A and B are shown apart, each in its own frame.
Chain A
Amino acid sequence: MSFAPNLSSFLGSLKESPTNVELSLQTLVDLFKRRQIRGSRQCAIATAHLLKQVIRRFKARDTVSLIKRVQDVGQKLTDAQPKELAISNIIRRILGVIRDEADGDKEGDAFQNYSSSEPGTPRKKGSMSPPQGQQNGVPVIADLEALHRPPLLTSHTSYMASTNGPIVTSMFSLLSQPLSDTSTPGSQSPAQQLYSSFNPTLRPQELSAEVIDGIDEIIDELDNMDDQIASYAIDHIHSNEIILTHGTSLTVQRFLLRAASKRRFTVIHAEGYPNQHHETHATITGKHKASSDGDPDQSDVQRFAKPLIEAGITVVLIPDAAVFALMSRVNKVILGTHAVLANGGLIASAGVKSIALAAREHRTPVVVVTGVYKLCPTFVFDFDSFIEYGEPGCVLGCAEDSDLIGKVDVENPLHDYVEGELVDLFITNLGGHAPFSLSSVITEQYRSEDTDLAVGN
């Protein structure tokens, strides 16, 4: 039984008192500040749920004030935890949803369907071509159908979600808008412009309903992201390979587990001392100490049930310091990340950078698996401002090393900044991207108006 508030208690309180938005907002701000909701995924889920409630309870129905409201709330949330970039990413996407709806479907709606109807043909391994290139398969037919449908095809997407179809790209396309289209000419079809004028503009009353549908899709996407990413696993992991990974990223674990269903390989797992080693050990053995408290909620599907060893995979646990020694035997490095900046640089858990550098030294390919919600449109030069420093208590126990306390400075950064050049491939739920093509994915995710969400200042 858990008394300390966490994500599931927050989601529970949202359900219990759906009317008091201010209380929910303050609760979430407090939870962010106290780091009781931490990690990109948890932050993203909490933010999306909160904004859904905010929009649902929002009285005024014109878009300008709605956008203003979301921006205000978003400002409070990002101020509470400016280092969790996923929060601002989710806010940007929700703002994008609103703007798209507000734009009166001049171009957006018709085009939504064909990209999502793309059957999930697995991409070829190492395919560096932008995913949009493949999306011109059957656009026109889908467009014609779309004319007779409601603008947002929630039933359609939920179907996609429930079947865990390999590519659910409806959100991706939903947020596409003219600016991004110019940068990705492949997705802009003439037919779309042709038919766009047929779509009825939304009446204000429908706005919030539409937006909420859009947020639901984002939440669905967050829930199903790991499965989508994992669907590419078979392409990237081959039999008898030795894979090196780090930390406790669930995305990585699912990815490996999916591959393990078909292939036999070896995983070398760096433990991530001092901040992650307990969790890492638990992940490897499958004995989650925390499993008693974080009761898996409906929306909390991330709890990783089955460890790799049960799937018959050999797992080798090593300290971070041994990474370089073992790198020569490693075929591939698969890493999770905390956030991805616009230049392809990673904010990842501490220890990842040394792995990436060791991999570069040995010319070992580095693959980063991440949900698109971790991709940030922002870029800063002061990376330190995104790096959170944790408690030195993890490094230096008060009991055994007490004579050192006060005599030495202890630093415990929780994150590393890893330059984009050290990464060879990104795998998101949209597919594989080369680092240089990442910016186009990012521009399609967010609307340019929202790029400057006052993140980090």
Chain B
Amino acid sequence: MPPKSKAAGKQNTQEEQRADTLQAVVLADSFENRFAPFSLEKPRCLLPVANIPLIEYTLEFLANSGIKDIFLYSGSHEEQVEQYLNHSRWMSSTSPFSSLEILRYHASSAGDVLRDLEKRNLITGDFVLISGDVIGNVDLDSAITQHRARREKNKNAIMTMVLREVGRDYRSKPSSRRPFFFIDPSENRCLHYEEINVKDRGDRRFHLDDELLAKPEIDVRGDLLDCYIDICTSDVLGLWSDNFDYKSIRSSFLRGVLQDYELNGKTIHTCILDTGYIARVSSLRAYDAISRDIIDRWSFPFTPDSNLMPGHNYRLSKNKVYTEGGVVLARGSSVQSRSIIGKDTSVGDRSVVSNSVLGRRCQIGKNVRIENSYLWDDVVVGDNSTIIGAMVADEVVVGSDCTVSQGSLLSFRVRLSKGIELPSKTILTDIRDDFIQDKFSTPDISLVGAGGAGRIHEADSDASEASNALLSSTSRRMSSDSLESMSTLHSDIESGMDLSDGNHVAVPLSPTDSTHGNKTFFAEAITSIQDGVLKNDDPDTVKLELLGQRLTHNASDKDMRDAIARALIRSVFTFINPPRSSTSSEALLSTSPSTSTFATKANLGSLEGITPKEAVAKVYDTYSPILVQLGLFDSALPEKSDQVAVLREIEQECAIRREIIPPSRNHMGQEVLLFALNELHSNLDVLQDEGVLQWWDGGVEGEIDPSEDTSSTEIKIKPRGMEVRRLAATYMDSILLGSDEETDSEEDEDEEEDESE
């Protein structure tokens, strides 16, 4: 029966059943950034693997295991995930799940999600914790049965990790950080856990307790593939919330619990499987390896020709070529081994496709060569082009006579005009709504040619490594040596410090952010404050939460101050320019880059926000006292660098916001700055004269981040800053008249460095 009526009508029985049925918590966000630039526009769990969105595999896996109750944390691009799932079979009346609930919560680590889950009291019994990128056909039955039997006997057996035994060179195994499990074979209990960085030739020792060595028998296993599938009792959640600093599942939680064994007596066990396929699409390299595994049918029955997605009708023909109906292959063309071709894709005369995945509705011209590549939907490739070892996202156009070589990543809607030769490892994106990176908003003509679209994506080290690896693994005939050296990848999911895919924590990649020592804190604090403000929370509540976060991240006063200032000013803008559907939870989303265009576009038509003045008053009246109450300003010091910093934050944000608000209102940044200044200085007395004056004299904040010192940034931001200050100048004049004779000249661009701290 449809889950809805069940939820309504059978609440009681469902509660009863829950104790017996298994629940699952899916972490669809990985809290890392490995799939950039693709994940900037589309959440990683919706990226197609062998033409099926990644999340489908995980949900299939759960359905396959007979799990009925799913909680899914979607993380970045929440709205896209939600929209997708709402229209998928998982939410329909014929879904195999009795409920699939999407958790709306902004978290920056797995720990946050689980702590939130505990607060909500949704988990009633045992549950399976799984990440949203698992592809596998293993049988969980034995693991679950073992787990239950153990728990019957011993309440302290709180968790069973499902591990798969694999060999050393298993291709879909992440290989730079290799986990080692110390297992007591008599009860399959995990005694100790360590990760060794294989590449690090230095310290490769384990650090073991004496007690561990006193055991009569220990298995040390380094040959296990850990896909982060854990069967947990509900006690696990309690442990997470007791230890608010736990972030990641393995390096903090697992190690923490193992270390506290003497104290708590909680034990964690392992279930080592030796059949079935399991893998995590944790990086682009894994994406490549797993796509090949799927084509080679390791994941059977999760292969294209099983047509698990409604509407798919792939058939397998010789040499592992999977084609869907409606594929047009011109007579002279050939699809060689191991390829997948989606519906309505056409391949022109004399074109050759091998070892590649082509999405739906692609148009491949004549005499094209595509090897070891992944083309998603609606890709157009012109005649005589060559694509080798590349990933090409939706709606990319590659003109005729182009060459896209090894390791290139072309993100959504990139266009290459005629005759372009892309060097290998070129990463192009055409993300338009990224208001911060406006220096890139024009296409890089030298690369994509006249009429093209796209520009170099500034890859952080992660992504470049990823493409490196894609490069190496698509060439794919690697010796095991090269595998060791190339596969730089395994996860720093454990580090937990990365911003997640697509910056869902509402912190755009602004240059300023990198100056804040504690990125995670900054991101979290801003989110929580904004959340509080938008929901009109009591300032005390907001304060309390902030203090908690401060403790967690060991943030400095400066971090706190900057975060509060930034969050408040952002809330002001949110009030002025509310997103299209302004429920409080979605309002937050409007700050994430992908939706901001929506918000702006919508507001072009309907200016439904309140005026800058009202907004400023609304936000600052209530919340700015927090700054004072927390004792963040040291008024005794003559140098008011703290107050200056706050104003800087506001100023920057105003300058940035200019870019995304409608042209008709491009004075808004100036207005907001003026009103904020007025409010903080005159009305609320948060800031003192000296502070304001020092800020004003400090000049326009051109560049703060030394790493971002490309000349273009400097040039762009400075004039913008000037403009923002235009209105404020009148206000300053009034102060200056009353105070001493410091001139308000604006020639002091040179001084900007020495004022910044």
Chain A residues within 8 Å of B139, by CB: 4
Kindly supply a per-residue 1/0 record for chain A positions 226-246, scoring 1 wherever the CB is within 8 Å of any chain B CB and 0 otherwise: 000000000000000000000
Enumerate A397-413 residues with CB–CB distance to B below 8 Å: 397-403, 405-407, 409-410, 412
Chain B residues within 8 Å of A391, by CB: 137, 277, 297-300
Asked whether A295 is an interface residue with its Cβ less than 8 Å from the other chain, the reply is no
Asked whether B399 is an interface residue with its Cβ less than 8 Å from the other chain, the reply is no
Closest CB in chain A relative to B23 CB, distance in Å: 12
Binds B, one of A18-26, A187-195, A331-339, A440-448: A18-26
> A393 touching B145 by the CB < 8 A rule?
no
B contacts with A: majority SS? loop
Question: For the complex, what is the distance from the CA of A10 to the CA of B450, rounded to whole Å?
Answer: 60
Binds A, one of B306-314, B346-354, B583-591: B306-314
Asked whether A79 is an interface residue with its Cβ less than 8 Å from the other chain, the reply is yes
> B301 touching A23 by the CB < 8 A rule?
no
Closest CB in chain B relative to A282 CB, distance in Å: 15
Chain A residues within 8 Å of B64, by CB: 4, 34, 36
Question: Nearest residue in A to B316 (C-beta to C-beta)?
Answer: A389
Closest CB in chain A relative to B51 CB, distance in Å: 16
Question: For the complex, what is the distance from the CA of A30 to the CA of B97, rounded to whole Å?
Answer: 12
> A406 touching B22 by the CB < 8 A rule?
no
> B223 touching A33 by the CB < 8 A rule?
no
Interface residues on A, range: 35 or more
Chain B residues within 8 Å of A397, by CB: 274
> A4 touching B315 by the CB < 8 A rule?
no
Question: For the complex, what is the distance from the CA of A5 to the CA of B66, rounded to whole Å?
Answer: 5
Chain A residues within 8 Å of B299, by CB: 391
Question: Nearest residue in B to A390 (C-beta to C-beta)?
Answer: B300
Question: For the complex, what is the distance from the CA of A233 to the CA of B148, rounded to whole Å?
Answer: 46
A393-B275, A403-B167 known; A79+B313 contact, CB < 8 A = yes
> A384 touching B298 by the CB < 8 A rule?
no
> A35 touching B292 by the CB < 8 A rule?
no
Binds A, one of B88-96, B548-556, B573-581: B88-96
A27-B94, A391-B299, A392-B297 known; A402+B167 contact, CB < 8 A = yes
A1-B145, A392-B298 known; A400+B66 contact, CB < 8 A = no
Asked whether A381 is an interface residue with its Cβ less than 8 Å from the other chain, the reply is no
Asked whether A17 is an interface residue with its Cβ less than 8 Å from the other chain, the reply is yes
> A389 touching B167 by the CB < 8 A rule?
no
Asked whether B626 is an interface residue with its Cβ less than 8 Å from the other chain, the reply is no
A384-B318, A391-B298 known; A399+B306 contact, CB < 8 A = no
Chain A residues within 8 Å of B170, by CB: 398, 402, 405
Kindly supply a per-residue 1/0 record for chain A positions 17-57, scoring 1 wherever the CB is within 8 Å of any chain B CB and 0 otherwise: 10110110111001001111000000000000000000000
Question: For the complex, what is the distance from the CA of A4 to the CA of B292, rounded to whole Å?
Answer: 27
> A26 touching B94 by the CB < 8 A rule?
yes
Asked whether A9 is an interface residue with its Cβ less than 8 Å from the other chain, the reply is yes
> B169 touching A402 by the CB < 8 A rule?
yes
Enumerate B177-235 residues with CB–CB distance to A below 8 Å: 223
Closest CB in chain A relative to B142 CB, distance in Å: 10
> B140 touching A3 by the CB < 8 A rule?
yes
Chain A residues within 8 Å of B308, by CB: 30, 33-34
Asked whether A201 is an interface residue with its Cβ less than 8 Å from the other chain, the reply is no
> A22 touching B93 by the CB < 8 A rule?
yes
Chain B residues within 8 Å of A398, by CB: 164-167, 170, 277
Asked whether B716 is an interface residue with its Cβ less than 8 Å from the other chain, the reply is no
Contact of A402 among B22, B66, B168 (CB under 8 A): B168
Question: For the complex, what is the distance from the CA of A391 to the CA of B136, rounded to whole Å?
Answer: 12
Chain A residues within 8 Å of B1, by CB: 17, 19-20, 23
> B63 touching A30 by the CB < 8 A rule?
yes
Asked whether B144 is an interface residue with its Cβ less than 8 Å from the other chain, the reply is yes
Closest CB in chain B relative to A446 CB, distance in Å: 25
Asked whether B444 is an interface residue with its Cβ less than 8 Å from the other chain, the reply is no
Kindly supply a per-residue 1/0 record for chain A positions 374-404, scoring 1 wherever the CB is within 8 Å of any chain B CB and 0 otherwise: 0000000000110001111100011111110
Question: For the complex, what is the distance from the CA of A293 to the CA of B300, rounded to whole Å?
Answer: 21
A34-B308, A389-B316, A392-B296 known; A4+B169 contact, CB < 8 A = no
> B171 touching A23 by the CB < 8 A rule?
no
Question: For the complex, what is the distance from the CA of A3 to the CA of B22, rounded to whole Å?
Answer: 9
> A390 touching B476 by the CB < 8 A rule?
no
Question: For the complex, what is the distance from the CA of A5 to the CA of B1, rounded to whole Å?
Answer: 17
A5-B66, A409-B296 known; A23+B166 contact, CB < 8 A = no
Closest CB in chain B relative to A390 CB, distance in Å: 6
Closest CB in chain A relative to B514 CB, distance in Å: 39
Question: For the complex, what is the distance from the CA of A36 to the CA of B301, rounded to whole Å?
Answer: 9
Closest CB in chain B relative to A386 CB, distance in Å: 11
Asked whether B141 is an interface residue with its Cβ less than 8 Å from the other chain, the reply is yes
Question: Nearest residue in A to B476 (C-beta to C-beta)?
Answer: A406
Question: Nearest residue in B to A4 (C-beta to C-beta)?
Answer: B66
Closest CB in chain B relative to A380 CB, distance in Å: 13
Asked whether B624 is an interface residue with its Cβ less than 8 Å from the other chain, the reply is no
Chain A residues within 8 Å of B89, by CB: 26
> A34 touching B301 by the CB < 8 A rule?
yes
Asked whether B276 is an interface residue with its Cβ less than 8 Å from the other chain, the reply is yes
Question: Nearest residue in B to A6 (C-beta to C-beta)?
Answer: B66
Asked whether B642 is an interface residue with its Cβ less than 8 Å from the other chain, the reply is no
Enumerate A67-101 residues with CB–CB distance to B below 8 Å: 79-80
Closest CB in chain B relative to A172 CB, distance in Å: 34
Question: Nearest residue in A to B137 (C-beta to C-beta)?
Answer: A391
Asked whether A298 is an interface residue with its Cβ less than 8 Å from the other chain, the reply is no
> A399 touching B96 by the CB < 8 A rule?
no
Contact of B60 among A17, A34, A385, A390 (CB under 8 A): A34
Chain B residues within 8 Å of A401, by CB: 167
Question: Nearest residue in B to A5 (C-beta to C-beta)?
Answer: B66
Chain A residues within 8 Å of B274, by CB: 397, 399
Asked whether B541 is an interface residue with its Cβ less than 8 Å from the other chain, the reply is no
Closest CB in chain B relative to A80 CB, distance in Å: 8
Asked whether B480 is an interface residue with its Cβ less than 8 Å from the other chain, the reply is yes
Asked whether A2 is an interface residue with its Cβ less than 8 Å from the other chain, the reply is yes
Asked whether B724 is an interface residue with its Cβ less than 8 Å from the other chain, the reply is no
Chain B residues within 8 Å of A389, by CB: 297, 300, 316
Closest CB in chain B relative to A12 CB, distance in Å: 12
Chain B residues within 8 Å of A20, by CB: 1-2, 93
Enumerate B507-536 residues with CB–CB distance to A below 8 Å: none
Contact of A3 among B2, B66, B277, B317 (CB under 8 A): B66
Closest CB in chain B relative to A192 CB, distance in Å: 44
Question: For the complex, what is the distance from the CA of A201 to the CA of B169, rounded to whole Å?
Answer: 71
Chain A residues within 8 Å of B171, by CB: 405-406
Asked whether B65 is an interface residue with its Cβ less than 8 Å from the other chain, the reply is yes
Contact of B301 among A22, A27, A33 (CB under 8 A): A33
Kindly supply a per-residue 1/0 record for chain B positions 679-711, scoring 1 wherever the CB is within 8 Å of any chain A CB and 0 otherwise: 000000000000000000000000000000000
Question: For the complex, what is the distance from the CA of A280 to the CA of B317, rounded to whole Å?
Answer: 30
Chain B residues within 8 Å of A409, by CB: 296, 320, 337
Question: For the complex, what is the distance from the CA of A398 to the CA of B137, rounded to whole Å?
Answer: 14
Chosen A-B contacts, 24 in total, with CB atoms closer than 8 Å, are A4-B139, A5-B66, A23-B94, A26-B89, A26-B94, A26-B96, A30-B63, A30-B308, A34-B301, A34-B308, A35-B300, A79-B307, A385-B315, A389-B316, A393-B277, A398-B164, A398-B167, A399-B166, A399-B274, A401-B167, A402-B166, A405-B170, A406-B171, A406-B476
Those 3 A-B pairs whose CB atoms lie nearest each other, nearest first: A402-B167, A26-B94, A3-B66
> Contact residues of A with B, CB < 8 Å?
1-5, 9, 17, 19-20, 22-23, 25-27, 30, 33-36, 79-80, 293, 384-385, 389-393, 397-403, 405-407, 409-410, 412
A33-B306, A392-B297, A398-B167 known; 6 other A-B pairs, CB under 8 Å?
A4-B64, A27-B96, A34-B301, A391-B277, A391-B297, A397-B274
